[in-house]
Chains A and B, each alone.
Chain A
Amino acid sequence: MAKKLGLKERYALLTRGLDWETTYQPMDAVFPYDSYEGIKIKDWDGWADPFRLTMDAYWKYQSEKERKLYAILDAFQQNNGQLNISDARYLSAVKLWLQGITPLEYAAHRGFAHAGRAFRGAGARIACQMQSIDELRHAQTQLHAFSHYNKFFNGFHGFAHMRDRAWYLSIPKSFFEDAMTAGPFEFVTSISFAFEYVLTNLLFMPFVSGAAYNGDMATTTFGFSAQSDESRHMTLGLEVVKFMLQQHEDNVPIVQGWLDKWFWRGYRLLGLVGTMMDYMLPKKVMSWAEAWGIYWEENGTALFHDLGRYGIRLPKHHEVAAKEKQRLTHEMWTVLYQYGNALSLHTWVPDDEEIAWLSEKYGATFDTLYKPRLLFLRAAEQRGERYYNNRLPMVCQVCQIPIFYTEPDDPLTQCVRIVEAAATRHHCCSDGCADIFNHEPMKYVQALIPPQQIYRGEAGGARDIFEYAAWLHLERDVDTGEYRGSPDQKNWDAWQEAHKTKPANAA
């Protein structure tokens, strides 16, 4: 009787055993990208495979998940599942996902293929390749889920055109391109660790739980189906960071610098997600401040304390995030609301019940600073003067968010930092972004800043925000603008009325 090989030994034979030291071509020619970042690897065999999955098992598990997922998506489409969501306003969250997040899943697919080619260690290569193909899964399952909403609602149809052009989508686009243009070690630190491990709950939980609370079967299903992939990706993130820290003490300051940078980059991106949680979900899951408290201040900091034994400290400016958590989303919603004429999603002033919820969650800060502003905007709308800002904003050179956040210690003063490089001055929204700029100025001077592109005539020659919106293929007040009175709202109301008199799947 043949003996059974241990799982670990068998896995090693089926992975690292395949690899060899090249001799006809130098290893540095075969793997040219894994040394220039300065990360020192003494022994790639020190890499502990984060999940021991061979292709046979991978295909078995993934095909089972995929069969179930597509059966549910088919049923969702056949049964007009879009009618079961809480309210059509909810779809602004889904539009934001399709335009801002799904493209990042695709970028992750390509970025992990790059990392999966770049590392000379076979274990690391395979882990990255599996993540690459998982990320393709996420991009495609999301497209297939959202494809149905596109048939019945506006704002979804032009996402691919918007993705490469729209001002607010340059926030996620520049974030991911920053990671992809970095070396492979920084890439996996930024995406696998900082984003997937530390901050993922702040992206996934709000969207997927938000979808579940708001009756969105399609999004909930792919979200839950992606969860087991995500847990593999998180394990990879932790392993990468530990591996670098264990290999050489010279790696510690490099990794710390990346953690500082990517904590802040990720946090700035998540401002959009927090705003979605607090303002776009008709049925709320929890507030941004609560989520930040649980997922960063408790869980995230605990993880950093664990890494303390390697010489890692909490990321710079984490205390600024704590100071901002009571106001971040209110400030961001005001921006989205006023530039709603150039967004492919709807915005609105929250109703009384929602304002009461915001008061409960944010207390005096909200009641004194932001509620009066919302009521002011509501009054203007009721007079028939719905407010739009028709001028172009100044945008942060690093995170690409319009510069409107306030000083950490003064919520009534705009926060602007001026940085200089290559004989030009640039504006940043915060000390966090200014630090990132100053560390790699020649990288960030390259950034394409949408308002500046418009002024230079690089947005189809658009001269104002309406021509710009048209260049984005946005139909005014159909894709853009106020929710109340929009075609999405009118259609939704009519379908709900018809639906009341006849069940969706009446025999």
Chain B
Amino acid sequence: MSIDLKTTHIEPLRRTFDHIADKLGGDKPATRYQEAVWGLQPTLNFHYRPTWDQSHTLYDPRRTAIVMKDFDDLVDPRQYYYGTWTIQRGRQQDSQEKNFEFVEKRGLLTALDAQWRDRITRFVLPMRHVAWAANTNNSYICAYGHGAPVASAAGMHMMDELGVAQYLSRAGLMLGDNEPALLDAAKAAWMSDVMWQPMRRLVENSMVTRDWFELFVAQNLVIDGLVHPLVFERFDARLIQHGGAVFSMLSEFMVDWYAESSRWVDAVIKTAAAESPANRALLEGWTTHWLAEAGAALTPLADYAFDGEGATLLAELSAALRARVARLGLTITG
């Protein structure tokens, strides 16, 4: 039996804002996501040139070589606006916090033998600096990207990357008995360990990349697209085989987040590539360039973590990334 509730019905004058109706092709009900992103960025009548960059206007579409008829087409398949994003992350944080508590309460990290603890310190913990650079780079995309859909999602991605860097740091603190020694050692490795230097050079080069869409490709597609599978899938699997399953509990967030946020990264690339052959050529060129650089930079690290199997492993991961972008309409050779 159903309960028949009655409420006052008042006929609305319209279903959504004019600019949303234009985009939808008529006055149709709009989602909260659509109302939260479309048309939110101003498009004309900018009063002053930025004193920090006189060669561009505010919100200048020419800050990237990618050309879109409407940058509002770069929508996020997750349909994240602030509310849905933060509620989802709040849920994940609850679950990650329980993992941290459980590991601490049961003393699970004490079971890890010294050799694997060292590998985590030298190989995994410095990745927090890579995540911090990813935060900085997404701050750039949020600031100078074009259109509210991609800029707002980059803003959330910026905070997510900070979250990743901080979860890794917390794992390092737990592993080091709440002393900063392991984090210090990891930073020393990042700064001066020979095997880390190609990666740090690559990351610093990404931080001076001026085209925000190229930076999107370099950081969100390529660097994260190799680092996350390498560390949180392959190395994690190896740890499990050597009694380090506890590490999976500390990095659960990263695995879920990478799978989820890749849907956004892929959708942005796919839409921009489908817009024109010129866009596709740019995306292919950037992907090819950064993939070669990142593959080479990660090889010595993977050699260390996988006992000399680095080149093979990176070849596999690069092939997987090429297959991923092939589904998005890009052909990457090499």
Contacts and interface: CB of A to CB of B under 8 A. Distances in A.
Contacts of B14: 150-151, 157
B224 interface: no
A2, A23, A448: most-surrounded residue (chain B CB, <10 A): A2
Given A116-B139, A125-B139, A505-B8, A56 B163 contact: yes
A5, A130, A154, A177: most-surrounded residue (chain B CB, <10 A): A177
Interface in A284-305: none
Nearest to B144: A114
A448 B45 contact: yes
A78 B87 CA distance: 22
Interface string A58-94: 1110111011011000000011100100000000000
Given A154-B13, A502-B8, A133 B42 contact: no
A13 interface: yes
A18 B90 contact: no
A7 to B, nearest CB: 13
A400 B178 CA distance: 56
Contacts of B15: 151
A3 B173 CA distance: 11
A103 B47 CA distance: 15
Nearest to B30: A147
B47 A117 contact: no
A151 B139 contact: no
Interface string A32-71: 1100100000000000000000111011101110110110
Contacts of A447: 47-48
A227 interface: no
B303 interface: no
B142 to A, nearest CB: 4
Interface string B170-181: 100110011110
A376 interface: no
B25 interface: no
Contacts of B81: 140
Given A143-B35, A504-B8, A160 B187 contact: no
Contacts of B50: 180-181
B82 to A, nearest CB: 4
- Chain A interface mostly: helix
Contact of B52 (A133, A137, A183): A183
A19 to B, nearest CB: 7
B97 interface: yes
Interface string A14-30: 10011110111100011
Nearest to A495: B10
B83 A150 contact: no
Nearest to A400: B47
Nearest to B200: A24
Nearest to B8: A504
B7 A448 contact: no
Interface size bucket, B side?
A: 35 or more
A164 B6 contact: no
A113 B156 CA distance: 11
B87 to A, nearest CB: 5
B334 to A, nearest CB: 24
Contacts of A137: 82-83, 86
B169 A473 contact: no
A152 B132 CA distance: 46
Contact of B48 (A19, A55, A178, A495): A178
Contacts of A235: none
Nearest to B162: A55
Given A13-B180, A80-B10, A504-B7, A18 B17 contact: no
B5 A113 contact: no
A383 interface: no
B17 A157 contact: yes
A136 interface: yes
Interface in B104-146: 104, 128-129, 131-132, 135-136, 139-140, 142-144
**5 smallest beta-carbon distances between A and B, as pairs:** A63-B90, A55-B163, A151-B12, A18-B132, A113-B142
Given A18-B129, A113-B139, A183-B51, 6 more contacts: A13-B169, A147-B35, A443-B51, A446-B49, A502-B8, A506-B7
28 contacts: A14-B165, A24-B204, A63-B86, A63-B87, A66-B83, A66-B86, A66-B87, A70-B83, A113-B139, A113-B158, A129-B139, A129-B158, A132-B155, A136-B152, A140-B81, A141-B83, A143-B35, A143-B36, A143-B40, A144-B32, A147-B16, A152-B10, A177-B47, A177-B58, A181-B49, A181-B58, A499-B8, A507-B5
